[in-house]
Amino acid sequence: MRQLRRIGIVLLVVLATVMTLPYLVDVPKGADADPVELLSYAAAPGARIITANGVQSVVAEAGDPRDPALLLIHGFGGSTFGYREVMAPLAARGWHVIAIDLPGFGLSEKSWERDYSHKAHATFALEVLDQLHVDRAVLLGHSMGGNVISWMLALAPERVAGLAYIDAAVAQPKGGVSRSPSAASVLLKVPPIRRIARIAIRNAFTPATFAELLSSAFAVTGVVNREGLVDGYAASTHLQDWDLALLGIVRDGAGNTLPESIATLSAAAGNPQTLILWGSDDTWVPLASGEVLHRDLPAATWEVMPGVGHVPFEEDVSGFVTAVGGWLDTLR
């Protein structure tokens, strides 16, 4: 009995230490920039601050609002900035082009409490369309954005005029896969562990490490060296609590699986015209993933951009505009 008591005391001391130690180490000081001050170099031309679904964020538009709408949804770590060079050329083909920063990304406001699931992102995007008085739009989603537009298809199929999947990471349901919270989600809800994660993230992040990570997405060498490119993508880290938002995105990731297969969702929506476009040398979401998506949506237009990696609109601007624009021309 005495031995059990000693073990209990030791465990309590260890637990108290684990719970207290993170608070003895300061979280490295972060930035506290005003998003408005960052618009000039970290967003697409003409971007402005909006509030939709209770979230302050960014929207950029190009073209005539009377033209059919094309909504551009970015991927993980992206923002309207990524589409800065393709919006005007696509608008010139007769489209009202809209790009947004999803909650938690880009220059949107950051917090721990917000819902960062892809369903919530889809709801936010639909609210932006409401504010812009857009009833229907062609939805283009890059990487993670491909799953967000799929959630938009699930939530509001009547508002989808077409779908364009660009190197898309679509989370389709699989038999027997649990939708219970991930281990990361559970752990991050413990305040001391969340604080440790914040300390680690802020200590690990440097412009050099970010540039290295970003360059790994490109197959076209030298893209990351374009003037202002790294600063534009990294601007999110100048906002208050950007690291908490990142942890919130990780926390909510387990709930991103679509409610039905993409084939089922597409059929229920009347099989809207679809483009699947992939970089042949994508190492983040390999070409094989695009081939699987194409098998699920066999009627889709299938395009492969040779020599291009995960971010076609950065690596081959003219090729991307030609491929997407040519497909869009068939919808008019």
From first to last of the 332 residues of the chain, give the pLDDT tens digit: 555 455 444 333 333 333 343 443 444 455 689 999 999 999 999 999 999 999 999 999 999 999 999 999 999 999 999 999 999 999 999 999 999 999 999 999 999 999 999 999 999 999 999 999 999 999 999 999 999 999 999 999 999 999 999 999 999 998 654 566 788 888 888 998 999 999 999 888 888 898 999 999 999 989 999 999 999 999 999 999 999 999 999 999 999 999 999 999 999 999 999 999 999 999 999 999 999 999 999 999 999 999 999 999 999 999 999 999 999 999 98
pLDDT of residue 179: 60
Q: What are the chain's domains? A: 47-329 (3.40.50.1820)
Q: Which residue has the tokens 């364009």?
A: 164
- Torsion angle defined by CA atoms of residues 159, 162, 167 and 168, in that order, rounded to the nearest 10 degrees: 30
Residue of 237, 50, 263 lying closest to 153 (CA atoms): 263
What's the pLDDT score for residue 23?
Answer: 40
Largest CA distance in the chain: 81
**Surface-to-core class of residue 313, CB atoms within 10 Å of its CB (0-12 exposed, 13-18 middle, 19+ buried):** buried
